Chains A and B, each alone.
Chain A
Amino acid sequence: MALHHMREVGLKTIMVCLKRVVDYNVRVRPKTDGSGVQTEGLKMSINPFDEIALEEALRIRERGEASEVVVVSIGPEDCQQQLRTGLAMGADSAVLVRSDEALDPPSAARVLLNMIERLEPGLVLMGKQAIDDDCNQTGQMLATLWGRPQATFASKLELSGEVATVTREVDAGLEVIEVDLPAVVTTDLRLNEPRYVKLPDIMKAKKKPIDTVAIEDLGIDTTPAFQVLAHTAPEPRARGRMVRNVDELLAELRERGLVN
């Protein structure tokens, strides 16, 4: 590959953040003592929004608009599985910041800023939210600490020189903004459909490097901003009644004063 040429026309590095989460299809329950959630033995996956972020990075590289895609994860040793999946999808290399404690978004953002300083990416991509804590904060906080623009909830991303034009899924419809690079872009569902990993890619990925860093060695404050007191199950909504036909349905709705 003509690397020197690519540097002229596009970005050198895209950094993609992957979080290991309980798989989308698994229903999670709180532990009986409320100290956390039961995750033992559950299927774990790449956070689906992060997978979309990686797919987008790979497409940008495949268009010749970037030279390399590096995937970064923070978590226990087992995160290697998700990073391997990312490498099998097509990422060039991976970094695991080993942490046995789960980090809150401000701490994760501080760690990712450290990774930015190492990798000097021209673009950082990640999901708009992780489907475990549902916080929807890390990308925005990272962009702020970095002193760079953010474009959240992206459903379309176009790069041109030093500028990214991003279509964002907002409550009112679609908003188009322009941001100077480098920037953080967080991805929404409709940006793309991630590719399936093929067996030969999994074999090839085994040769790709995963660089491991112990979080203690980064000297970053990871004290949580808040104290979690308890995890509980939501109050169930009472089961209602079945009606047999539209007339019974309308009678019930009229009784409740909901329709005329």
Chain B
Amino acid sequence: MSKVLIIAEHNGVTLNQSTARCVSCALELAPDCIDILVLGSDCSGPASEAAGLKGVTRVRTITSEANAHPLSAVLAPQIAAVAPGYDYVLGPSTTFGKDLMPRVAALLGTGQVSDIMSVDGPRRFRRPVYAGNVIVSLEVPEGRQVVATVRTASFPAGAPGDSPVAVEETATDATIPTHTRFRELRTAGGDRPDLQTARIVVSGGRGVGGAEGFEKLYSLAGQLGAAVGASRAAVDAGYVPNELQVGQTGKIIAPELYFAFGISGAIQHLTGIKDAGTIVAVNKDPEAPIFEVADIGLSGDLFEVVSQLEEKLG
């Protein structure tokens, strides 16, 4: 009888797709039960979405004003209070889960498997290290609770279930610390598609040359309904904000179509896109390493290619 608890990621209104990807990972463990835990000040929206995911047994909510924003120091003791009795406690390998889950693991006195990319058995997992240059297979000893983050790009978002499961409010007697306080969240995205869920991503590297060059990529992305991403080199150079960064130290994504404009193809970047459906690389250097992994390569001036694409797709 094995039981999985998944910590839902949400923005107070809707459930993040990362949660459904965690469910897909959990299903590979062939458990007897998958519960989703939603913590928030109003859990109703995310909880009803979670209740509709295929494979979910039950949705539990902890509703409290203290949970209005996802502060790990506040959420972790509540999760640790609910976690006993579960064999697995999973969260997504997004900034939400990366911040939160080690705190949960430490409270539960166990370790954490970071970035599960595949499940080889009920206690055997694979995860990338060294920016994806090496894959580690590991085993969690019997009797030890598994706390893990799920590399969301490695698992599908799953399908809706036949009928929604029950949602139950849960009470805990966890002590909530007051030493950590939310001040504000500044989002830059506006109405652009989200980088982590977009079907198409248009990405730029140092070859784009500056913020003005990125304006041309934004324009093409707008035409394609695509999100915009960037290499670490472009972020380091200050062309775009860090939330656009794709790679080892940024976001790991799996769009159907990925355009890499002026990106040389450092391994740190490639690790963030290796699960993309089709990778298109445009670079003026025909020897750029990006061409070794691209499905379609075009050697040439990226701005010329971008403007022709806009014209011919228009």
Contacts and interface: CB of A to CB of B under 8 A. Distances in A.
Interface residues of B, number: 85
Contacts of B72: 140, 150, 152
Contact of B298 (A133, A225, A242, A260): A242
Q: How large is the interface on A (under 10, 10 to 19, 20 to 34, 35 or more residues)?
A: 35 or more
Given A179-B179, A242-B291, A246-B308, A152 B99 contact: yes
A219 interface: no
Given A109-B106, A170-B96, A171-B94, A177 B183 contact: yes
Interface stretch (A4-12, A27-35, A62-70, A84-92): A27-35
Interface string B120-145: 00001000111111111111110010
Contacts of B57: none
Interface string A102-136: 00111001000000000000000000110111111
Nearest to B144: A225
B36 to A, nearest CB: 19
Contacts of A3: none
Main secondary structure of the interface of A (DSSP, over half): mixed
Interface centre among B98, B196, B292, B294 (most CB of A within 10 A): B98
Given A135-B114, A171-B95, A229 B137 contact: yes
A134 B177 contact: no
A177 B102 contact: no
A144 B187 contact: no
Contacts of A249: 280, 296, 298, 305, 309
Interface in B250-300: 251, 256-257, 267, 274, 277-280, 291-300
Nearest to B273: A237
A88 B303 CA distance: 44
30 contacts: A27-B133, A105-B111, A132-B129, A135-B112, A135-B114, A141-B102, A143-B103, A144-B107, A149-B179, A149-B180, A150-B180, A171-B96, A174-B186, A174-B243, A177-B183, A190-B242, A226-B140, A227-B138, A229-B139, A230-B137, A231-B129, A234-B128, A239-B292, A240-B295, A245-B300, A249-B296, A249-B309, A252-B296, A258-B257, A258-B277
